[in-house]
Chains A and B, each alone.
Chain A
Amino acid sequence: MTCELIGLSSVGDCTPNQGGIIKSFATKLSNITSATITAGVISNFTMSSTGLWEEYEYDKDGTANFTQPGALNNNRFTVEQTAFLKFGGLSQAYLDAANKAAACCDTVWIHVLSNGTRVVQGFEYLTATGAPTGTINRRTRIVPNATTGTSNEESRLEFVIAGNANSFTNTTSLTDSAILAL
């Protein structure tokens, strides 16, 4: 990506910029044959078949989040992309989902932020329409954690979705119903 400095203004001192993510959708990278970019935003996906996006509705308890801290090692810039999702309870269905999720090598996630923005985790930033390339430095994988907790805590399944890229994520303009219609 070429160097350019773009001035920014904060949304406003007193605007409550609520953080967190409220819902996510996931698919395997290999299911996406191309992503369409319109005015810098992903406006469409072409999928190898239909019904390949899965919806994840996790606990709304202030724990779900997605972070992209940049890092500089000498002159090498990278971005560690990490999402955290928590599903209350533990069951055979949860453990099945965890085992299968852990086996996926390259995954793509759309996280819906509390402010309505939708970020796409799992591939390098796209500036033009085309087939996406997975996160280059480390594949975006799911690390499930299943824990009973103690009797004072809650049992839960946690998904940590982590990858390492050369760039920050794209966003998408696709709605929930559009993603599920794909």
Chain B
Amino acid sequence: MAKYRVRPDFLAKYPDATTLVKTPEGNYDSVALGGKSMSVPVKATKDVPAYTREVRGATQSDLEYLYKEGNPHIEQVIETKAIPESK
């Protein structure tokens, strides 16, 4: 099965990188490419008081979505099975 990952050089440079994925309902969901969820304080406006927003870590299916969307920071990893040595 194909796996997807964030390009290591990109992740090393931008460990907190975020982007959007579309939910099945057609809404946008922000995801952290580092794979770990993040809490973001949001400043108050005249209409909305300050609050904390959660950004979830990107899953394999998120990375697959982004790869197929053409995101240049995601790459496909082909898993190869080790061939047992013949005796």
Residues of A within 8 A of B (CB): 33-34, 36-38, 43-51, 55, 129-131, 174-175, 177-178, 181-182
Contacts and interface: CB of A to CB of B under 8 A. Distances in A.
Chain B interface residue bracket vs A: 20 to 34
A55 B45 contact: yes
Nearest to A43: B69
A50 B16 contact: yes
Interface of B: 10, 14, 16-20, 28-30, 32-33, 38, 40-42, 45, 53, 55, 69-73
B73 A50 contact: no
A47 B55 CA distance: 13
B30 A46 contact: no
A46 B16 contact: no
A46 B28 contact: no
B30 A44 contact: no
Contact of B55 (A34, A37, A50, A55): A50
